[in-house]
Structures are given as C-alpha cells and as structure tokens.
Chain A
Amino acid sequence: MRIARRLLNSALALSLAATFAISAHGVSSARQAPAGMPTIRLGYLENNPQWAPTLDPAVVEDQNSSYLTQLLYGGLINIKQVGGRVVPYPQLASRYKVTGSGKIYTFSLRKTGFANGDPLTAQDVVFSIRRALSKQTNSPINTYDSMIKGFANYSAGKSSYLGVKALNARTVQFTLSVRAGFFPEVLAYPLNFILDAKVMRGTSTNSGGTYLTTTCKAAAAGASGPFKAVCHSSAANDVTSFYPGGSTPTLTLVPNSHFYQKAHVRLVIPAIDSNQTGLRDFRSGGLDETFGVPTQDQATYRGKPGAYQFPTAFIEYLGMNVNDPPFSNVHCRLAVAYAIDRVTLAKKYLHGAYKPLYSFVPGGFQGYFNGHSGVPYYDPAKARQQLAKCPGGINVTYVYRNDTTDRNAEAAAITAMLATVGIHFTPKGVPRSEWLNYIARDTPLSKTHTAACYGDWFEDYPDSQDYFYNLLYGGVAENFSGYNNKTFNKLIDEADAAANQSTRARLYLRANKMMLNQAPVVPYDNGTAFDLVNTKKVHGLIPDNYRAVTWAKNNDWANVS
C-alpha cells in the first residue's frame, strides 16, 4: 500500500525531543492571504501522519523537513540550479571572500529581514550557527560543520570558542581548522540556516527544537526565507498550531514580505499518503504539483507538458560480502557484475524511472563517468568466463528491502538475469527495518553470514566523498560489503584533502574505476525524480536536481506565479 516517497536516507537522530512549557504569547499572524494572491497546492510532503519530523533547521535530516525549512528559512549560501548544474550562491549574504589560504570566509550580509520585520544582523548569524552546533541542540548532523575551528570542543560543551564571529553588524567571519573547498555547499544545508535571535531568545531554551518544530509562532515570526507560516492557532504549542488536530497535516505559507526576493503566491502543502494517492490527487485536481509519479505510471506522462523527469543523487547497488566465499573471490564478484543487464533493468523493468548506472556516484558528482568504458558492464559471455574461474559456483541468498514494487521488481529481474548465466540467487525480501540491520547495524555482511545484499544511497551532502567514504572506505560502519583496499582508501584520503576541484575529480574517478574492477559492489541504477506540474495554472516551477523536486526557478519564489 504505502510506497516510500522518501529518497533521502537521513542521518541518525540523537537528541530526544524534550518538551518545554512555553508561555503563550499572543502572535498576530496574517491568517488571510491578501486578496488576489493565487494559491498553489504542492505535493511535497510525504505523509508521515505526525507532520514533518522537524521544522528546526538545525536538526533536519529528512526530505519533508528539508522542503519546509527551505521555504521558511534562508542560509548565507543557498543552492540554485543553473542549466543542469547545481551551484552555490550567496542568499542572505550579498557576497563573500575567502582568505587565509582558504581557511577564512568573510560574509557581507544582504539587506533582508525576518517575517516579523526584524532586520537580519551578523548577531543573528552567529547566534544561529552557535545554536545549531551547541551541545544543547545536540544536532545529529552537526558534524557537517566539523571544519569550523573549535567545533569539537564547542559541540561537546567543553569550550565556548567557535570560529564564527560578527565583525560588525553586517559582516560575519568564519575561521576553519582545515581547508575545505566545499564549505559554501555545507553552509547551504538547513543546519546552517539563519534564525531570528530575538525570536529564539524569547523562548526559554530549545535543545530538541520543540519550540521551532511544534509552535507555529516561530515559523510565522522568525522566518528568514521567502515564506512564513499561517497559523491555525497561535496559542497551541503542538501541531494543532499549524492545522486542526485530527485533520490531514497541512502547512499553509504566505510570502515573507521582508525577504529580499518577494514571492506573490500562497502555498498550501498537504501531506500526501503515497505516490499513488499523490498522482490521483493531482489528476482529480486536488494538487497543482505532485512529485514521485509511480514508476509504472510514468510512461503515460513522459513528454507531456508539465511532466518533468530529472536526475537525482539516488543510487542503487548490489553489495557482496568480500570476506567470505564465494564473493571473497574477485572472479565470483565480476561474474555478477557482468551478468546484470542494467539497460533492460532500468528501461523495461523500471519503465525508465531509473537510469542505468555503471559509476558508483551519480551524474554531476566528482568521479562520475558516463557509459561503461573500463568497468564491468553487461556481457553474458564474460560473466560465464568469470563464473568458470569462480570455485564452486554461486548459490547464495540475496537480501533486499521489499518495501516498494520497484525493489521487488529489481530483485526479480536480477535473480532472473543471474540465473541465465548460471548464478543462483535466492531473493529474500525483508522489510526496511530489518534490511537496516544488514547494511548499517550488523556490518559488514560477514557478521550476518550474508553473501549479497541490496544497497542504496542518497547524498547527505552533495559531494562524492559522501558516497566513497561512507560506503566503501575500509572499516566504516556503512560499508557493508566489507571492502578494504589500501590503494582505494589512499585515493579517497587524498581527494578529501585536495583543494583543487579538478584534482579531486581526477582522484575520485581513479578510485571509482579501480574499485569497480574489483566489484565489491555493482551499481546498477540511478533514480530520477518524476514530477507533474499543472502548467496551465502554475508558472515558474522547474526541476531542481539539488532538491529532487520541481522548485522555484533559481530558488527565487518571486519567479513563481
């Protein structure tokens, strides 16, 4: 019934949300949109019956929360799409410069304001960053900022020093402990979004983000982004402050008139139960946009006006246990790598909703290569040759997560393809919760005596390092195949440290191809996003690769009408 719309594999949540009694201040918020403002109904939210997990940018690690916080808050840097490329640009900052051999970033702030009229100041920035990384906030993703000087001690509560300070009311300076070329991208993550210090200080404290998450006042008054929330009740401190209790979770947004790019639409974002219901809702006129058109329905819409299909950073792969037979033998692994017909899989079984993939990182990431030159690809003859060198043949169980039709179709297809060359996989579908034990908790696979397992990944942050380090570096918990190759590890370390982007790209490409020829993993497809927009009514929503959804052109909601 339920199809996961969620692509994002979120990081771990550590903090236990603590509830705080918050005295109810009267908040006047515009309940009515100005007359004549068009309303757009967006299908961004996957229905978690409990609302988006959080609206506190500092702890965002899932898609739902990410969309909503990106509409409500802005960062010094944000990301927009230019052509097919994802580029960082100064958003709440007007410009920035890098000095101190790449370790000092100085930002000049833009003239923009919070929804309640407070102007943006350097103090707000310092407050927001310090709050996000503090021990009290206990953000599960604060390590994204670990390059900021003093991070370790500050986030552990051992020191009050953190490498961010206000030079004057409109200038902020970051000092990093290491050179990190991707620091601007990191600042674009909701973790570093800017909150109104005055609004936040007015609340007793906020360790778990409860105030921001469940109190509409915060999203109505303290919004630093293009929109602010319309509250259902200004007195309530739970979800009923956003929408009536017991009704479908819905966020209603109106433009933040103090934001520098003025939007002129009202957004209504109801939670959608599944891809199927999202599509049905769109077709019945209940939504102006739906994302995640079900795989089997995509052919109906492909090429029609308002139908957008665009790449995402979601990859799927098959991982093999390199520590135990049969896959401790490279020939056995290569036999599998040569036996999977990625094109048939993506085009026929998955109806073109996925693209065949040979590289381990998706397009747009450093180290990606198009096509399959120099790496294993579909070739039954070579698969049989390799299988002949595989002692004892291959007759194993293949664990996969069976929570969607797509995953089941892939497993059925792979099993059938392998069978034609004489490799016997017995598919074992497990619920996502159990699959997590194989790929995250009890890793590597040798621990659970599992020969092969399905794996997938969506970037935590848009950098190849996230894929190569987490999933293939020796000894890392997420590396479930157990691959541990010194040359590979060294290449990744070097790429990490390299400041020059083209050097990084070259190193990642080398690591990628070298690893694929040893085939601890067989990447086979790259997810795409498929969105429908009612273009008769809505203008200015375009595919956004970074957010994996149709979004305002140039991340500027003034473009949407």
Chain B
Amino acid sequence: MAQDRLPSRSLSHSEAEIELGAAEPLAADEADSFASTQISSPTRDAWRRFRRNKAAIIGLTVIVLMMIMAVFAPFMHTSDPTVPDPNVINGGPSPIHWFGTDYVGRDGYSRIVYGLRVPLIVGFIGTAITVIIGTLVGLIAGYVGRTIDSLLSRFTDIMFAFPGFILALIVVSLFGAAADSFGMGGAGRVLLLTVVFAAVGWPPLMRFVRSLALTMKEQQFVEAARTAGSRDWGIMRRHLLPNMWGLVLVQGAFIVVATISNETILSIFGLTVQQPNPDLGSMLFFGVQNIDNSYWQVVFPGVVLAILILALTFLADGIRDAVDPRARG
C-alpha cells in the first residue's frame, strides 16, 4: 500500500495532503464507514490529538482571551481610548497608563483592547466568508466538472493572478475614504477591509477544495451514493463536505494568519481604520513614526500583534496536525 502511494509524492504538496486526508479512513475501513452517522469518529480522534498538543492549546487560549478582551472592551479599558490628554503626550508606561500613551496622550492599553477588534473582525469574519466562497466554488467545480468546472476554474485563475495584497492595497486606497463615510467609528472601513480580504483570499482554497472533490468523487462511497439515487447537492452536502471540513479548517486557519498580517501591513501605509478610532494597525502606523523617542508606541501593539499571529500559527499548526497527523510525521 505504502509503495503504491509513492508516486503521489511527486504531486504538489497540497495534493499530497489531499490524498492523506481522504485516503486515511478509506485505508482503515471499508467504504460504508463514510456513512454520515459514523463521521464523528475521525473528528473525535482529531480532537483527542489536538488536546494533546500543548502549543495549539496555548494558541487557542490566547486567541479566546483576546477575543474576550475585544468583545468586552467597554469593561476592560482603563480610560476612553479616543479622548486626548495634553498632559501625558507620549508618556511612557506607568501605573496609570500601563502601556504608555500615544501622540495625543490617549491610553495605549485601552486603545489596544479596542483596537484588537479590527484585526479580529477582519481576520475571522473575512476568512469565514472566504472559506464559504472558496469551498462552495471549489466543491461545485470539482464535483460537477465539465463546462462549469472550466468556467469557475478560469475565473479563479483570474482572481489568483491578482497579488491579493496589491488588490487590497488598490481597493482600500481608492475606496477607503468613501467607506469611512458609512458607519461611525471606522465601521465602514472595517467592513471594506473585511470584504476586500474575503474577496482576495479564496482562490487558493477553491483550488484545494476542487482537487479534494475531484479525488473524492471517484471514490467508492460517492459512487455508491450516486447509484443509490442521491442527488448531486445531497452528495456534496452529506458525503463530500463532512469528509473535507477538517482539511478546509486547516486551510482556513492559515488564511486567518495571512489576512491579519496583510491587514496590518496595509496599516503602515495609513490605509486601515482612521483616527481617532482605535486600531492595532494604525497604532503601529503612528508609533513607527515616533519610535525614536517613544518605543512603547510600537513595542506594545507590535508584541500584541506578534502574539496574536504566533497564537494563530500555533493553532493552525495544531489543527493541521490533529486533522492530518501524517503531515507532521
């Protein structure tokens, strides 16, 4: 068996992963183990593996804590994050202002607590949308095939050709100020960023899901379902999706990391949420300009951002290892 699968190693990494994920249960049992009632078994296995992964658990904890902070920011902050104070401009860390203050004397800690909302919203909601789009398009293209596949694949190729970051850069620089006019407190800009990153993130995932679907539809359990008279949509929903959601989740986790990094990179060109609204990225944007004499304006938001990205990476790695144990070795 192992020998037979050797040639597949010369496929791309993602396709290799596909085989691993899809073939594992197949190799273990006969086809009917894929009946939807028994799907929980690999899920439970994955969860068991995940719980044993310390780094992943730490990552998950950190992210949950950050989300709680962001959601309950009104109860967590120490002073109003938008009100300037001329007496503590560029103040260093102190018992009152734990993380120092910014260029107009606003409290760094409070701004971070509120400012976490932006990367979290853009990262998670943007990714959720991207995952939905990518999975749906990929599934339909891969399963239905033929003309629809060609059309969707070519469309994806087009989207794929745009360097995602550049597209986001252009859209936000062209339409950012217009978006600010909608919604108070920078909500318009956040919405725009979310939509933009959702729009640029899905093509790789679509290709991934498409090849998963291509592989799976040839397999016995799908054939069996088809012969039994299940309709296409039903097959996709009951047989394909449950078998790929773990792998999709892994991809999704990595997309969150990429989205949050890209969103904060846009901020150094001054393109994310505008003043006076708090945002981690814009704190860095202004902090970087002031780094020669007020290092804390970069270090605190920078460290928080680095922790967030590290935690997400740990989590993503953990999910991958749990869902797809062989990828780890």
Contacts and interface: CB of A to CB of B under 8 A. Distances in A.
A and B touch in their complex, CB below 8 angstroms: yes
B105 to A, nearest CB: 8
A279 B286 CA distance: 17
A276 B289 contact: yes
A412 B276 contact: yes
B275 A413 contact: no
A144 interface: no
B94 interface: no
Contact of B84 (A297, A351, A402, A413): A413
A430 to B, nearest CB: 5
Interface of B, secondary structure class, is loop
B104 interface: yes
Nearest to A434: B177
Contacts of B289: 1, 3, 276, 294, 296, 405
Given A3-B289, A294-B289, A296-B290, A412 B269 contact: no
Interface centre among B83, B176, B275 (most CB of A within 10 A): B275
Nearest to A429: B274
A433 to B, nearest CB: 9
Contact of B288 (A1, A344, A434): A1
B180 interface: yes
Nearest to B89: A348
B270 interface: yes
A529 B88 CA distance: 25
Contacts of A416: 83-84
Nearest to B274: A429
Contact of A408 (B176, B268, B269, B286): B286
B156 interface: no
B90 A413 contact: no
A402 B274 contact: yes
B327 to A, nearest CB: 38
A50 B290 CA distance: 27
A412 B275 contact: yes
Interface string B196-235: 0000000000000000000000000000000000000000
A294 B292 CA distance: 10
B114 interface: no
B163 interface: no
Contact of A412 (B84, B90, B268, B288): B84
A403 interface: yes
A349 B180 contact: no
B87 to A, nearest CB: 7
A296 B290 CA distance: 7
A145 to B, nearest CB: 38
Interface in A255-297: 276, 279-280, 294, 296-297
Interface string A407-443: 0110111011000000000011111001000000000
A411 B277 CA distance: 13
Interface residues of A, number: 29
A246 B103 CA distance: 36
B301 to A, nearest CB: 15
A1 B84 contact: no
Contacts of A405: 103, 286, 289-290
A295 to B, nearest CB: 8
Contacts of B274: 402, 429
Interface centre among B87, B106, B290 (most CB of A within 10 A): B290
Contacts of A429: 180, 274-275
Given A297-B293, A412-B276, A403 B103 contact: no
B80 to A, nearest CB: 10
A237 to B, nearest CB: 32
A294 B286 CA distance: 12
Contacts of A402: 270, 274-275
Contact of A297 (B86, B89, B292): B292
B79 interface: no
A344 B288 CA distance: 25
A300 interface: yes
Given A1-B269, A412-B84, A416-B83, A296 B294 contact: yes
Contacts of B124: none
B34 interface: no
A305 to B, nearest CB: 20
A296 B103 contact: yes
A412 B269 CA distance: 20
A280 B270 CA distance: 21
B285 interface: yes
A306 B173 CA distance: 40
Interface centre among B104, B269, B293 (most CB of A within 10 A): B104
A349 B89 contact: yes
A18 B220 CA distance: 70
Q: Return the 10 tightest CB-CB contacts between A and B, nearest first.
A: A348-B86, A408-B275, A412-B104, A429-B274, A412-B84, A409-B104, A430-B177, A434-B177, A416-B84, A296-B290
6 contacts: A349-B86, A349-B104, A402-B275, A403-B270, A416-B83, A416-B84
Given A296-B103, A296-B293, A403-B270, 10 more contacts: A1-B285, A276-B292, A294-B290, A297-B292, A405-B286, A408-B286, A412-B276, A413-B104, A416-B84, A428-B181
